[in-house]
Amino acid sequence: MQALKAAIKAIFINKIGDLCFLIGCGLFISVFITLDFEILLFSSIFKFQELIICVFFLVAIAAKSAQIGLHT
């Protein structure tokens, strides 16, 4: 029974990571009109939209790799 609960929780956390990654990619495309991530290296002004995109990617990475806060 515990294994079933842990598996369901892991799938749920994994889907949170997928959703945050999709939202981050969608925002990245809408802000920069490209999927070239090197544009962040040459961006001279750090805008609020870039911070939000980075937060979505950070949550996606933490959920997919089971880091603290989103581990099961």
Q: Is 7 exposed, middle or buried (0-12, 13-18, 19+ CB in 10 A)?
A: exposed
Span 10-65, pLDDT tens digits: 888 889 999 999 999 999 888 888 878 777 677 655 677 788 888 999 999 888 87
Q: How far apart are CA 42 and CA 15, in angstroms?
A: 32
Q: How far apart are CA 21 and CA 16, in angstroms?
A: 9
What's the pLDDT score for residue 24?
Answer: 93
Q: Rg of the chain over CA atoms, in angstroms?
A: 15
What's the pLDDT score for residue 56?
Answer: 94
Which pTM value belongs to this model? 0.76
pLDDT above 70 (res 70): no
What's the pLDDT score for residue 67?
Answer: 65
pLDDT above 60 (res 72): no
